[in-house]
Structure 1
Amino acid sequence: MSAEKSTHSLDKQATPIESEHVEVLPVEPPRNEKYDSHGATDLETGDGGAYSTHSLHFIFTVIGCSFALCGSQIFPLLYLTLTTTVAKELNAQDLTIWLFTASYIAMGALAPFIGPLADLIGRKSLFNIGLLVSVVGSVVCAATPNAPGFIAGQILLGAGAVTQELLAIAVIAEIVPTSRRPLYAVIALSSIIPWSPGSLYANWMTQSSWRWIGCTLALWNALTLAILVIFYRPPPRVNSLGLSRRELIARIDFVGGALLTIGLVFVLLALSWGGQQYAWTSAHVLSFLLLGFALMFAFVAWEFFGAKYPLFPRRIVKAPRPFFCMLFVIFAAGINYVPLVVFWPIEGIAVFGADHHQNGIYTLPIGIGILGGAILSAFLLHLFKKHITLVMTMFCVMQTVASASLAAVDPHNVATAIPAICFALIGVGGVLVPNQVIITVLTPPDLIASVTALTVALRAQTQVIGLAIFYNRFVAKVTEGGYKLVAPAMIRAGVYDPDVIFNLVEGMSAVPYSTIARGIPELMADPVAYQVVGEVALQSFAAAFKLIYYITIAFGVPACVAAAFMGDVGKYMDENVAVKL
């Protein structure tokens, strides 16, 4: 009987009265429990499953959101694998960490504002602004003559990408029944399939010029913007009806966002300086590190006790145990994403001696593996709604074991690394994106964008911190190997200029040893010295990468435990639709 009732609910035409019940609800005074940020009551009505998959607006809205999600994912795929190459061409190796992290800092800083703002004033205007910013950022990255310009372009791309990803997930999540969200996640991710060899495309474009990447991204985001401007027509937001612009702005927690963003930047600076420009015990590092964490703790205290309208209201958590377990899994997967996407391309050049054409092939698993893992995981979650915990645990174990296995690869044989890197990337893809969709099931419908903002901000901020940690340890280990192994070998080969030795070690992160060595006459004149220096340089880099993969265990194992104790999430997946187009 209940099944018939549910089917009838899906097929019936919503009357005007029913639509008004969901979308045109008058705003009551601020102390009404439905809108009280500290209350426990949530908005659970929705359209009861009334949505039409045959509507042209629905179809093209899903396509537009799919394209927007694709645009937010392919820009780091195209650029991150070439950051050391861009830094070398722009003569800015000392700014490499900022070339890596600029976009992620922008994403982490803006996500807390984008979500609540979208829940208050609606999705479309923010969506359009985000896509326009992405187009401008792409053009800036393509045209800039220097590193500061490239960093500015990356900041704009990060700001646009976080808006695209957040709103694409939120819009699709709210226009389909909760039980079908994993299936529509598969549909949304499908547009990334042609872009999954993005690292290969990027390396091949670099043979002409890496600036073509920006041109490509600008065209893709412009097409997405056109689709959504024409076809995405959402109803007015429940939250904003009856509120003035000043009242809307007053509900955005600028203080909390500022505390979180400044704290994150301070921690990033400390992690970047420690052991490099300054000692870990120096006043520079300790003061920024302590102040950064203090600001983050102040953010938490402000959200709980000070903010009248916090960025993430307490009622965002309907089921605490699975909710916080998912957040921790996203946190750990976000950190373990870094060595696979950022450092594997460097390893292909520095250890396995790949040129851009070869490295494009070596990095193929990055896009294909993450996308394949995300689609496979989402499809399994759709099929096995009662076994979400088991599916998530399986992917967490896969990413943890495979990432750690990379520490045991043979530095002289790239084939030993390919299986491990493929399984690790599938595991990361299977954890990150589907979890961001599933967590919307555990949240009131009127806060879907806010919870999506929370997951995107958490992932971006942990990736920034993770990248700083990994990059710091990587540089320290390579420097140690340079002093102990490379420098003595080059001196024995007759190379005494410290700048030549330094440039060799630094340059190997972007250019193969064989290419750099051609510019050092002493090495080219002595085949034995050429071979010896190449081997010790390889060993120095191999030891640094091994350390990075060991660090991933510290985050992967707790994530596996958190996934295993997530509990039953399937009971929250029903036929409710938050918004009918």
Structure 2
Amino acid sequence: MSSSHIDVKTSAAAAIVPSQKQQEFDVSSSNTSLSEKTQQGESSIGQDQGTQEPEETIDVKGEPIHDLDNPEADSATPPPMFHKPPPRQFLLIMIALALCVFLASLDQIIVSTSIPAITREYNSLNDIAWLGTSYMMTSTAFQPLYGKVSDIFGRKMTVLFANTVFLLGSAISGWATSMIMLIVGRAVAGIGAGGLMAMVFIIMSDMLDMRERGKYIGMVSGIFSLSSVIGPLLGGAFADHATWRWSFWINLPVGAISTAFIAFNLDLPTPAGSFSEKIKRVDFYGSFLLLASVMLLLLPLSWGGNKYDWNSGIIIGLLIAGFAVAIIFVLVEWKIPNEPILPIHLFKIRNIKATYSSVFFSGMAFFGIIFYLPIYFQVILGESATIGGLETVPFVFGIVISSVGSGIWVMKKGTFAFFPAVGNFIFMGATALCILFKETTPRVVTVFVLMLCGLGVGLTYQAYTVSVQSAVKPKYMATVTASIQFVRSLGQVFGIAIVGSVFNNKLEESLLLSFPLSPGRDILRVMQDYGFIKTFSELDQAAIYRSFVHGIHYAFYCSVAFCALSFLAACFIEHKELKTRKDMDKPEITIDMA
């Protein structure tokens, strides 16, 4: 006697509503029994207008297939409706999104080479650190808020708001008449920049199905990396040949183009409801607590080892306060709001936990490399800021190649889970090779190693985003997409603080050992003013360069450790099926032989 059970499931391009009708037929013969169940469903009206989800589907054995209490249920299903515009309109939108990413990431680093000119004009050296800190704090803190806000008010309105705020901050910075006004402008620009970084990936996810996203996310990620090279070059050129204010004014025409393209071409559904109804849905408690915790944590990470010692009371107090507020935030999000900024139950999902952990440590490793490679080229090899910036081009070139290539792979094959682990393993090995860099390292070696670093980093970019998006239901897509940018930024901040502290301590230790008789610790001046090295004899300069090499090697040791942690976390990312539009239009037939 044998029996066959055949499940026939028909899935439309939208979510299936609860089963309305089930029919069962039993056909008996001498040795065959057939049981068949048919489900009927109807399409939802789209993700932005609300998606109805099945309560439960029963297979032929009477066992539930879906469990709505499990946030991972239906996790591999893409959003029920994609809104990809016609080719010309899509091209203009993608250009606008690319410009958004370029400007937001460019503004993060372009000011670094303008600092000497700014300090000369305002004679305010003590406040100069706030130019980077104010932008970094607001851009990082506001990123996770934009995901939920875009669910409530709509993608188009949210990204236009972010663009407008960013341009307003750039205008304030460009026409600043004092250091305080400049710092305020940078903080305002950061609020907008955080939204731009988050909304770009959310909008692409609304327009593209799971497989298509990888290719375009890879392209945009390459633009993000390119700006890290162009930024210092542009900032230095403006400061030397025009005015440092062009570092901010350049955002205005480019940002205006981006805003116009989005305003006239982006056409995504707007959630229903009046403005007052939408305001009531905003999680103000969670927003305030998240902003407070992030700022309380970022301030000591920015000040530690620079303005204050790490063991000072203000640094320790701010860190304790930051972690305490973060715990309160988690408790509030868990129990109070109906629509939390970051639903805590999502962290039960394996891919969410593994991906966020890997992204955090990858961000730490990335900035550990990108911040100290210019020091190697400019201080140890004695190259100009322009040439030193160009030396990192192989790194960016590697990112572009692998991010676009892996995106095409995802589009064609539908697999992504192995990319984060492979990418971090390559990045870890290449970073370990950076430890071999010395004063006499041939240029061909540095080019090869940096390209290898870029290849490793690029493999992870699009896979991380696809990993979290494929692990949750459509209604959480914007939330997890915005959060992954937030986690990456937070990792970068922690990486800068930790690696910077290790580098400074090891450099100081090596300098004091090499120059034990230096009066009044004058030798430590070279840590703040690299040009001071040229005042020493050639023999002493060689010893100073060896000390810098020693310190940079320890910075790379830290990055290797962070890469290893990121690799371990990435090994726990599991595969999720990535469906295309064609797959979703076909009936899915599963045969289970018992």
Q: Given the two structures, how large is their TM-score scaled by the length of structure 2?
A: 0.78
Quote the offset at 1:122 in angstroms: 0.3
- Which whole-Å deviations, capped at 9, do the CAs of 1:339-372 have from their partners, x for residues lacking one? 2222222332222222223223223345434434
Aligned to 2:265: 231
Aligned to 1:477: 506
Give the match's secondary structure for 2:86: coil
Aligned to 1:309: 339
Is 1:160 the counterpart of 2:167 in the alignment?
no
Aligned to 1:125: 157
Q: Aligned residues: percent identity?
A: 20
Aligned to 2:450: 421
CA pair 561-467 structure 1, distance change in 2 beyond 3 A: same
User: Which blocks of at least 5 consecutive residues in structure 1 are unaligned?
Assistant: 11-17, 518-522, 524-528
Higher helix share: 1
Is 1:505 the counterpart of 2:533 in the alignment?
no
Q: 2 CA distance for matches of 1:303 and 1:248?
A: 19
Quote the offset at 1:267 in angstroms: 2.9
Q: 1 CA distance for matches of 2:228 and 2:297?
A: 33
Pick aligned residue for 1:451 from 460, 480, 497? 480
Give the match's secondary structure for 2:417: helix
Aligned length: 530
Q: 2 CA distance for matches of 1:309 and 1:164?
A: 22
Output the amino acid matched with 2:256.
Answer: A
| Root-mean-square deviation over aligned CA pairs | 3.8
Q: 1 CA distance for matches of 2:551 and 2:345?
A: 44
Quote the offset at 1:205 in angstroms: 4.1
Output the amino acid matched with 1:397.
Answer: F
Aligned to 1:544: 551
Q: 1 CA distance for matches of 2:128 and 2:372?
A: 13
CA pair 52-268 structure 1, distance change in 2 beyond 3 A: closer
Q: 2 CA distance for matches of 1:294 and 1:164?
A: 29
Quote the offset at 1:474 in angstroms: 2.9
Q: 2 CA distance for matches of 1:476 and 1:122?
A: 48
Aligned to 1:217: 251
CA pair 235-284 structure 1, distance change in 2 beyond 3 A: closer
Pick aligned residue for 2:201 from 166, 169, 187? 169
Aligned to 1:15: none
Quote the offset at 1:572 in angstroms: 4.0
- Structure 1 stretch displaced more, 212-221 or 454-463: 212-221
Aligned to 1:207: 240
Q: 2 CA distance for matches of 1:347 and 1:145?
A: 35
CA pair 502-403 structure 1, distance change in 2 beyond 3 A: same
After TM superposition, the structure 1 = structure 2 runs for residues 553-568 of structure 1, keeping only pairs within 5 Å, are: 553-568=560-575
CA pair 444-433 structure 1, distance change in 2 beyond 3 A: same
Is 1:65 the counterpart of 2:97 in the alignment?
yes
Quote the offset at 1:326 in angstroms: 1.1
Q: Given the two structures, how large is their TM-score scaled by the length of structure 1?
A: 0.79
Aligned to 2:436: 408
After TM superposition, the structure 1 = structure 2 runs for residues 243-392 of structure 1, keeping only pairs within 5 Å, are: 244-274=274-304, 278-314=308-344, 316=346, 320-386=349-415, 388-392=416-420
Aligned to 1:520: none
CA pair 121-268 structure 1, distance change in 2 beyond 3 A: closer
Aligned to 2:21: none
CA pair 9-56 structure 1, distance change in 2 beyond 3 A: farther
Q: 2 CA distance for matches of 1:419 and 1:26?
A: 50
Is the Cα contact below 8 Å between 1:332 and 1:556 reproduced in 2?
A: yes
Output the amino acid matched with 1:439.
Answer: V
Is the Cα contact below 8 Å between 2:210 and 2:466 reproduced in 1?
A: no
Q: 1 CA distance for matches of 2:78 and 2:579?
A: 14
Q: 2 CA distance for matches of 1:356 and 1:92?
A: 23
Is the Cα contact below 8 Å between 2:79 and 2:473 reproduced in 1?
A: no
CA pair 360-112 structure 1, distance change in 2 beyond 3 A: closer
CA pair 125-163 structure 1, distance change in 2 beyond 3 A: same
- Structure 1 stretch displaced more, 450-459 or 433-442: 433-442
- Which whole-Å deviations, capped at 9, do the CAs of 1:234-277 have from their partners, x for residues lacking one? 2222xxx24x4344223322322333332233333434555555
Quote the offset at 1:186 in angstroms: 4.1
Q: 1 CA distance for matches of 2:380 and 2:179?
A: 26
Give the match's secondary structure for 2:370: helix
Give the match's secondary structure for 1:408: coil
- Which whole-Å deviations, capped at 9, do the CAs of 1:76-113 have from their partners, x for residues lacking one? 35345x37656765655555654444322112211122
Give the match's secondary structure for 1:207: helix
Q: 2 CA distance for matches of 1:374 and 1:542?
A: 31
Quote the offset at 1:555 in angstroms: 1.7
Task: Work out which structure has the larger RCO, using CA pairs closer than 8 Å and 6 or more positions apart in sequence.
Answer: 1
After TM superposition, the structure 1 = structure 2 runs for residues 522-533 of structure 1, keeping only pairs within 5 Å, are: 523=535, 529-533=536-540
Quote the offset at 1:331 in angstroms: 0.7
Is 1:575 the counterpart of 2:581 in the alignment?
yes
Aligned to 1:526: none
Give the match's secondary structure for 2:427: helix
Is the Cα contact below 8 Å between 2:167 and 2:255 reproduced in 1?
A: yes
- Which whole-Å deviations, capped at 9, do the CAs of 1:399-456 have from their partners, x for residues lacking one? 1222232222113446244433332233223323541244222232233221111111
- Which whole-Å deviations, capped at 9, do the CAs of 1:158-207 have from their partners, x for residues lacking one? 22222112111111111222222113324545767986751444444443
Is the Cα contact below 8 Å between 1:49 and 1:575 reproduced in 2?
A: no
Is the Cα contact below 8 Å between 1:267 and 1:292 reproduced in 2?
A: yes
CA pair 43-418 structure 1, distance change in 2 beyond 3 A: closer
Quote the offset at 1:458 in angstroms: 1.1
Q: 2 CA distance for matches of 1:262 and 1:275?
A: 22
Output the amino acid matched with 1:544.
Answer: G
Is the Cα contact below 8 Å between 1:177 and 1:577 reproduced in 2?
A: no
Give the match's secondary structure for 2:250: helix
Say which one has the larger Rg: 2
CA pair 252-414 structure 1, distance change in 2 beyond 3 A: farther
Output the amino acid matched with 1:575.
Answer: R
